[in-house]
Structure 1
């Protein structure tokens, strides 16, 4: 429940900032367009609305594409519109000619769409107002420039907190998977329950995959952000931590499958069950401890660096050691080599 409230709070905050930016910059761009002599000042805030994207990088990219597309479209329309009749077939001919030019230079689809939009509006409105073509170019530049500058320097988007909250939730989920697997072993490794555990792990792995995509969104959100030094260090630590979570989820899946097979052979003793239940429970506790560390990482140090982040997350006196049954010490390397070889041969046969 607390995690849901935190997500809602971050969403409201980010959305509120975006709305305030959109309102303020739209008004400012209108006034600047009028001061620059525009007879169509609404074109500037229109560009602001379109160019204020989720991240600064996306805003810069769209602003560039809209500006280039607008210039190309206005120039082509200004050259041809005056000699064409105002009807649908003339517009179709104008689109065919105008959009082929950016396509020949392998420009993006966004630029092609912006060219088409400018062709349409200049074609339809130039005869009503001779100022429209130059106004469209000038106001587009004003709106795009303002949108980018404000997005960069005033509360730039930063999704570092969302990445952290996602990892906290995933860590808690992973800890529970190890704890439930330990309880399952204690209760006798019932087949149906084992299948449910595997299904739960697969769901977790899908969430981890999505978290990886969200992490990349976080990195994109701080690109061109002049205040993002600390966020960059945090995101680097989070990405490294996510890698550990993925390895742990792969391990628990393999462990459950192997213990299930072992149990069905009838060769798994009560001592083996107790030992492996204890082993998985200790790993569960390890991840529970990591959950606290990752959630408080930002608060632990004032000047965060890659080294301090790693030391806070991983350098502690709690070191996990794999459990071995009595008498197995001399055979552990042979067993490990056998297991690795078996995995290789299975992979070669797929």
Structure 2
């Protein structure tokens, strides 16, 4: 059933993440029981469960969010309890007040939920328990701190693999799209084939968005990470390639659209179009070399330029009047494609 499928995530959490969460929760529970006079240190366990995140930076954010939410809720509950006492209506009014306070302060969802929950527990459970409010604050901060330490010590996650894979796939798809354009210039195409070519080219946009998201997650995983020095060099290389691909995606889609809009069955008979198709395949070859080049240095770029740049200026014969707009557009796009590939 569809509603059951919606309950399942598309990707399974890494096993190391599950192990870290379990270890942090157990340690928070045991240490809180040893240090605080409470039978069930639920606040410490909940804090540990929430604070262990895929990156150190996210864990710090969750720890601050959780701690401030608990402190805020406890302070509100203490103030209202001292002024009005404890009753069912007081608890309900306190919950509503905390929700409105979080809305007025524009707090994050985590803090917005934690403030009314903490206030409710303090008023409902801690009314007859001395130092209940203070113990809950200490317990929460302790659980969050333990989760941070565990997340820091047990294989701090570095999410470079997904970013590198996404960018590599994008580069290959751009190369394949340009190859399809080169083929369409040499061989007569049907209207359906041209529409399919355009639809396929447009798929580059969501791939580019996915690559940007993967890079953002990779940068997030390196923030405050003690293992960030060497991975940052690799990420910088991937980001440099992605920067070039961003422009290439625009040029590739534009080239495909121009071909679809101005195509006719006699286009492949133009000598200039045949020469253009060959140079476009050379550009594809250069792009694949760029994607495989993990160093992406100026020297390697120059090496590719000497080996694979245009061997001679194209001789543009006077085209048919119906073709000159398309040929001019394609030539300008090819020039800019090669500039991006060669880093000029």
Of the three residues 305, 310, 316, the one matched with 2:303 is: 316
Cα deviation, 1:46-75, whole Å, max 9, x if unaligned, reads: 101011123222211121111111112112
Kept after mapping to 1: 8 A contact 2:56/2:156: yes
1:30 corresponds to: 29
Kept after mapping to 1: 8 A contact 2:60/2:148: yes
How far off is 1:207 after superposition?
1.0
Aligned pair in 2 of structure 1 residues 211, 312: CA closer, same or farther (>3 Å)? farther
Kept after mapping to 2: 8 A contact 1:185/1:273: yes
Kept after mapping to 2: 8 A contact 1:51/1:147: yes
1:301 corresponds to: none
How far off is 1:269 after superposition?
3.1
1:86 corresponds to: 87
Kept after mapping to 2: 8 A contact 1:38/1:139: no
RMSD (CA atoms):
2.9
Aligned pair in 2 of structure 1 residues 231, 45: CA closer, same or farther (>3 Å)? same
For 1:155 and 1:44, the matched residues in 2 are separated by: 22
For 1:217 and 1:133, the matched residues in 2 are separated by: 37
For 2:129 and 2:215, the matched residues in 1 are separated by: 48
Aligned pair in 2 of structure 1 residues 187, 265: CA closer, same or farther (>3 Å)? closer
For 1:255 and 1:322, the matched residues in 2 are separated by: 22
Identify the range of structure 1 (188-197 vs 175-184) with the bigger mean alpha-carbon deviation. 188-197
SS at match of 1:264: coil
1:6 corresponds to: none
Kept after mapping to 2: 8 A contact 1:184/1:190: no
How far off is 1:179 after superposition?
1.6
For 1:204 and 1:104, the matched residues in 2 are separated by: 41
How far off is 1:104 after superposition?
5.0
Q: Which runs of 5+ in 1 are unaligned?
A: 1-10, 298-307, 329-334, 341-350
How far off is 1:321 after superposition?
2.6
Cα deviation, 1:114-152, whole Å, max 9, x if unaligned, reads: 111101111221146435322211110011112122223
How far off is 1:77 after superposition?
1.3
2:45 corresponds to: 45
Alignment size in residue pairs: 309
For 1:97 and 1:253, the matched residues in 2 are separated by: 53
Cα deviation, 1:154-180, whole Å, max 9, x if unaligned, reads: 312211111011112222222211222
Q: Which runs of 5+ in 2 are unaligned?
A: 1-10, 318-327, 334-344
| Matched ranges for 1:325-336 at <5 A | 325-326=314-315
| Matched ranges for 1:1-350 at <5 A | 15-39=14-38, 40-81=40-81, 83-87=84-88, 89-127=89-127, 129-261=129-261, 263-264=263-264, 266=266, 269-293=269-293, 297=294, 308-311=295-298, 314-317=301-304, 318-321=307-310, 324-326=313-315
Kept after mapping to 1: 8 A contact 2:73/2:115: yes
How far off is 1:243 after superposition?
1.7
